[in-house]
């Protein structure tokens, strides 16, 4: 197993991608700390992990709360992997000229704060031990995605944070890596889409049409699966990816050049 004897903290572990990554980490031998704001969803993921023979603990912590994050990380014996997958409050589907300032800034501020707070808390301890991996994920929209509101700016801030963390922490044995993933079918329910874009009121046929259009936008002409994204995260967290840092791995199926 690729992550035997590793300890991972997954922020946003109750979400679709966070839960899939947490389960994959556990299957590969990691002890996983599931962190998020909703205890019920965290408990459901933990139940799956334990039922499969894995090790999981849960903690209700807001990744935007600096003191709470620091206290939780301090309570963990050692942190080998820290993965931030929290939601940011993105608003999409509105032209920038019509978008409220707060709706534009919310994902930028929340995403940057959550990634910085969680990465810093883990990196301080990883640097003392001389090893560790900091991971994050965004949609890659910094490459240019119209009608995506503040998503592109938020992604660009995260991209830059990862690269600068890698430069500063590399000499101390710590890697910082990200994944770009966008439009993963298993995460795109009608309700979740409407929460981000109030103009999307889709029936089942329209949702399937949207997924087909997303597939046609990719070089592979198919949408990446949740399992593929989780498997990539496992690889990046493992020693097999020891030469990878300061970059983002494009898991969008080629939606844009990497």
**Domains defined along the chain, listed by start:** 7-184+224-250 (3.40.50.720)
Mean residue pLDDT across the chain: 94
Q: Is the dihedral of CA 172, 109, 16, 210 positive or negative?
A: negative
Residue 37 scores a pLDDT above 80: yes
Between CA 84 and CA 237 the distance in angstroms is 13
Structure tokens at 138: 């965004």
Which band of pLDDT confidence, cut at 50, 70 and 90, is reported for residue 66? Answer: very high
Quote the pLDDT of residue 218.
Answer: 94
Quote the pLDDT of residue 136.
Answer: 98
What's the rounded mean pLDDT across residues 83-110? 96
Quote the pLDDT of residue 122.
Answer: 98
Of 115-129, 208-222, 238-252, the poorest mean pLDDT is in: 208-222
Contacts of 255 (CB under 8 A, 6+ apart): 140, 182, 183, 214, 217, 218, 219
Strand, coil or helix: what is 157?
A: helix
Residue closest to 61 by CA, chosen among 79, 84, 36, 42? 36
Between CA 175 and CA 173 the distance in angstroms is 7
Structure tokens at 34: 């599931």
Quote the pLDDT of residue 202.
Answer: 78
Quote the pLDDT of residue 205.
Answer: 87
Per-residue pLDDT reduced to its tens digit, 104-157: 999 999 999 999 999 999 999 999 999 999 999 999 999 888 889 999 999 999
Do the beta carbons of residue 8 and residue 82 sit within 8 Å? yes
0.85 cut: is pTM over it? yes
DSSP label at residue 59 = E
Taking residue 217's Cβ as centre, other Cβ atoms within 10 Å add up to: 15
What's the rounded mean pLDDT across residues 173-178? 98
Q: Computed over its alpha carbons, how large is the radius of gyration of the chain?
A: 18
Between CA 21 and CA 160 the distance in angstroms is 23
DSSP label at residue 147 = T
Beta-bridge mates of residue 35: 11, 59
Residue closest to 30 by CA, chosen among 185, 104, 117, 135? 135
Which band of pLDDT confidence, cut at 50, 70 and 90, is reported for residue 189? Answer: confident
Quote the pLDDT of residue 210.
Answer: 86
Half-sphere exposure of 193 (CA within 13 A, CB side): 20
Between CA 199 and CA 191 the distance in angstroms is 12
């Amino acid at each position: 197993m690729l992550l035997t004897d590793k300890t991972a903290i997954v922020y946003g572990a109750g979400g679709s991608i966070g839960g899939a990554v947490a389960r994959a980490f556990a299957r590969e031998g990691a002890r996983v700390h599931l962190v998020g704001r909703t205890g019920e969803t965290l408990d459901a993921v933990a139940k799956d992990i334990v039922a499969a023979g894995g090790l999981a603990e849960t903690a209700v912590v807001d990744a935007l709360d600096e003191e709470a994050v620091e206290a939780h990380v301090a309570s963990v014996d050692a942190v080998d992997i820290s993965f931030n997958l929290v939601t940011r409050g993105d608003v999409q589907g509105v032209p920038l000229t019509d978008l409220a300032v707060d709706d534009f800034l919310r994902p930028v501020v929340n995403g940057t704060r959550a990634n910085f707070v969680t990465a810093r808390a883990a990196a301080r301890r990883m640097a003392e031990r001389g090893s560790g991996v900091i991971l994050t994920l965004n949609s890659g929209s910094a490459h240019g995605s119209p009608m995506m509101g503040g998503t592109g700016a938020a992604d660009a801030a995260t991209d830059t944070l990862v690269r600068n963390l890698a430069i500063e922490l590399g000499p101390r044995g710590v890697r910082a890596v990200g994944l770009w993933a966008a439009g993963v079918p298993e995460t795109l329910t009608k309700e979740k889409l409407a929460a981000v874009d109030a103009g999307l009121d889709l029936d089942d046929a329209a949702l399937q049409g949207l997924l087909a259009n997303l597939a046609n936008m990719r070089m592979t002409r198919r949408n990446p699966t949740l399992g593929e994204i989780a498997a990539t995260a496992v690889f990046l967290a493992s020693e097999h990816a020891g030469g990878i840092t300061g970059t983002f791995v494009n898991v969008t199926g080629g939606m844009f050049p990497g």
